[in-house]
Chain A
């Protein structure tokens, strides 16, 4: 699958935030396909606790933008049963930490039904959920769990780092006949950028975006760390030429684009907010060393959360959360 680079961006764009880009994606898909409906806690009348669904309830009505009881196992299971029988539910799971209460339906039903049934079920369900620290929301509302989902066979996982990817990935997820989780980092909802206005623009699942081209070091960054890595790269311009790749889709993962970049630069940093051990970083590192070990000129570096939960106090939270500065330190180490 072709990666999207800065050079081949859409012509018609509009500036908007990540939040607006996701809302636009939802609106366009609700308009395009009657089988698509949204559900989740307070997504309707209230417009979503993180205000993503906004005014969709007014425009599409309570059948299509459905408030659920606080019942994650119930509605995640209902979405699964509904998808298997011909509708295209888009569920908002308010905070990804709450996946715990619905994990049975996610792992044993949603992820396994198609396979267990010998392919005789489709599961066009999208789960949108928020991740990440930075708001002082403490441990139970700041987690980054995409590694669990990407690790679990039968589920696809995407995580946008820009408004453009946010729109494109949300639409691709909704159009997919497989279960797709969209992990929205809550600290980038206000981030602004150019977003294609074409209603058929999607960011294909499994295609990375080269957000910045460079020669000396490859930074594979996700979510909030895409923007922070781009800033760091700008700061270092002239001294070090940094290539920034947003994989966007964590499963499936565009190995080719990452490997190609590492073959060019010989250096790799993986920056992702999830905990460092046994996760997203490890997967990317493993694939690169399997395919491009002899192209590496330096040990691969990982930037992530140091296996802690996210603490409440701002000083503690800043201590553990990875940032553009950590990416810069890693670049310093390698160059």
Chain B
């Protein structure tokens, strides 16, 4: 069962709620990063909400997604809990990855989220692999990868698409073309104007959709999903979108001018979808204000949860390397658990350390 779909008024409201949640989450994450509360770096999804939400609106809840370094929006679109996400951004023990992943690695495999990813272009092979499992085990799912326009220049992205196309796997490749790979514009990275043209090389459908329009994205993905489930293989979907913020928080953006940003904001995905719902009589301004207030409360609660959540204990640094912890790691864990520092010194206490052999 899909969590929400755009065919129903309820589903449309849920899509709007998720887009609003993404924006509120990322605005708050940006502020808290600027305040020095969140370590590492964060890449915000603001402006691109329609792509993640449109995609997930077309998926069943047990479908898989593989994400990117800009993954908060994908997580929320997939239905992950902002509390556990924010706790992960804070590096807390209660975060999605027990504080081991942070912003760039939020994951919940059981919920179908195969991880945000710090490596540009690494997600598509993982989605191809998930699609391979689905196909191999005759399961009724699909696997979707998100990647940026910059990632389309990575070799492994093409290997993943070729593999999925050759084996007719139930995969969907969604490219979020926001016009820039970090600071470098699209035309300096690719020789084609529409990245979807590359689909021709794999003899799979390639289409370009308006990534500011949640419905357009959802329709394209729904069709791709149906095609994938019918055994007809993957689809390449390019969603043209825009990020309002810098590549990462703190980016001064010397590579683009404010006018360009304003022009895209005129087509804001949340604003335009909200207008549409109001025009259809499915929402009033007051109801929207209520929804916004509800979302703000959720984000506030998430932040409070993240602040209060306990930090991991040092010994947890040694957990989760393997299913069975080998002695090589266990000795450090043991030392950390007993809070002695003896374990770091070496392999063991050694033989004859009383030194009677010294001077032999």
Answer yes or no: are A and B bound together in one complex: yes
Smallest CB separation, B33 vs chain A (Å) = 20
Tell me if B347 and A287 are in contact (CB < 8 A): yes
Contacts of B352 in A (CB 8 A): 293-295
Contact with B along A216-237 (1 / 0, CB 8 A): 0000000000000000000000
Chain B minimum-CB-distance residue to A111: B321
* Given A80-B126, A291-B347; A85-B64 close (CB under 8 Å): yes
User: Which single member of A113, A255, A294 contacts B327 (CB below 8 Å)?
Assistant: A255
User: Which single member of A35, A81, A104, A154 contacts B321 (CB below 8 Å)?
Assistant: A154
Q: In the docked arrangement, what's the CA distance between A87 and B134, Å?
A: 9
Smallest CB separation, B168 vs chain A (Å) = 12
Count of A interface residues, CB-CB < 8 Å: 56
At the interface with chain B, which of A10-18, A71-79, A189-197? Answer: A71-79
Chain A minimum-CB-distance residue to B162: A69
Tell me if A74 and B125 are in contact (CB < 8 A): yes
Chain B minimum-CB-distance residue to A37: B136
Chain B 319-334 residues near chain A, CB threshold 8 A: 319-324, 326-328
Tell me if A116 and B348 are in contact (CB < 8 A): no
A187 within 8 Å of B by Cβ?
no
Tell me if A78 and B132 are in contact (CB < 8 A): yes
Tell me if A74 and B101 are in contact (CB < 8 A): no
B346 within 8 Å of A by Cβ?
yes
B284 within 8 Å of A by Cβ?
no
User: Which single member of A83, A84, A89, A154 contacts B322 (CB below 8 Å)?
Assistant: A154
Contact with B along A145-171 (1 / 0, CB 8 A): 000000001101000000000000000
Chain B minimum-CB-distance residue to A72: B159
Tell me if A120 and B347 are in contact (CB < 8 A): no
Total A-B contacts with CB atoms under 8 angstroms apart:
190
Tell me if B110 and A120 are in contact (CB < 8 A): yes
Tell me if B348 and A291 are in contact (CB < 8 A): yes
B7 within 8 Å of A by Cβ?
no
At the interface with chain A, which of B113-121, B183-191, B241-249, B272-280? Answer: B113-121
Contacts of A299 in B (CB 8 A): none
A240 within 8 Å of B by Cβ?
no
Tell me if A84 and B100 are in contact (CB < 8 A): no
Smallest CB separation, B139 vs chain A (Å) = 8
Chain A 55-100 residues near chain B, CB threshold 8 A: 63, 68-69, 71, 73-87, 89
Tell me if A104 and B322 are in contact (CB < 8 A): no
* Given A290-B347, A294-B357; A79-B321 close (CB under 8 Å): no
Tell me if A85 and B101 are in contact (CB < 8 A): no
Chain A minimum-CB-distance residue to B312: A118
Tell me if B64 and A118 are in contact (CB < 8 A): no
User: Which single member of B107, B122, B130 contacts A85 (CB below 8 Å)?
Assistant: B130
Chain A minimum-CB-distance residue to B119: A108
Smallest CB separation, A205 vs chain B (Å) = 8
Contacts of B343 in A (CB 8 A): none
Summarize B's interface: helix, strand, loop or mixed: loop
Smallest CB separation, B141 vs chain A (Å) = 9
Contacts of A75 in B (CB 8 A): 159, 163
Tell me if B136 and A118 are in contact (CB < 8 A): no
At the interface with chain A, which of B91-99, B263-271, B291-299, B302-310? Answer: B91-99
Chain A minimum-CB-distance residue to B358: A294
Chain A minimum-CB-distance residue to B96: A118
Q: In the docked arrangement, what's the CA distance between A120 and B347, Å?
A: 29
Contacts of B358 in A (CB 8 A): 294
Tell me if A109 and B109 are in contact (CB < 8 A): no
Q: In the docked arrangement, what's the CA distance between A108 and B116, Å?
A: 12
User: Which single member of B115, B125, B355 contacts A117 (CB below 8 Å)?
Assistant: B115
B133 within 8 Å of A by Cβ?
yes
Smallest CB separation, A98 vs chain B (Å) = 13
* Given A73-B156, A177-B323; A117-B97 close (CB under 8 Å): yes
A263 within 8 Å of B by Cβ?
yes
Tell me if B351 and A293 are in contact (CB < 8 A): yes
Q: In the docked arrangement, what's the CA distance between A120 and B95, Å?
A: 12
Q: In the docked arrangement, what's the CA distance between A37 and B323, Å?
A: 21
Tell me if B129 and A83 are in contact (CB < 8 A): yes
Tell me if B163 and A104 are in contact (CB < 8 A): no
* Given A82-B130, A117-B100; A74-B159 close (CB under 8 Å): yes
Q: In the docked arrangement, what's the CA distance between A286 and B348, Å?
A: 11
* Given A81-B114, A287-B347, A291-B350; A252-B128 close (CB under 8 Å): no
Tell me if A84 and B326 are in contact (CB < 8 A): no
Q: In the docked arrangement, what's the CA distance between A73 and B163, Å?
A: 11
Q: In the docked arrangement, what's the CA distance between A92 and B346, Å?
A: 36
Contact with B along A11-53 (1 / 0, CB 8 A): 0000000000000000000000001010000000000000000
B175 within 8 Å of A by Cβ?
no
Tell me if A78 and B326 are in contact (CB < 8 A): no
Contacts of A328 in B (CB 8 A): none
B53 within 8 Å of A by Cβ?
no
Pick 13 A–B contacts, CB within 8 A, sort by A. A78-B160, A81-B131, A83-B129, A85-B143, A86-B137, A87-B133, A87-B136, A87-B137, A109-B117, A154-B322, A253-B328, A292-B351, A293-B352
B residues touching A (Cβ–Cβ < 8 Å)? Answer: 64, 66, 95-101, 105, 107-110, 114-115, 117-119, 122, 124-134, 136-137, 143, 155-156, 159-160, 162-163, 166, 319-324, 326-328, 346-348, 350-353, 355-358
Q: A-B pairs with the 10 shortest C-beta distances?
A: A81-B129, A77-B125, A74-B159, A118-B98, A252-B326, A294-B352, A119-B320, A81-B126, A290-B347, A118-B97
Seed contacts A108-B118, A290-B350; 11 additional CB < 8 Å A-B pairs? A76-B125, A77-B122, A81-B129, A82-B130, A109-B126, A115-B320, A115-B321, A117-B100, A178-B324, A252-B326, A252-B327
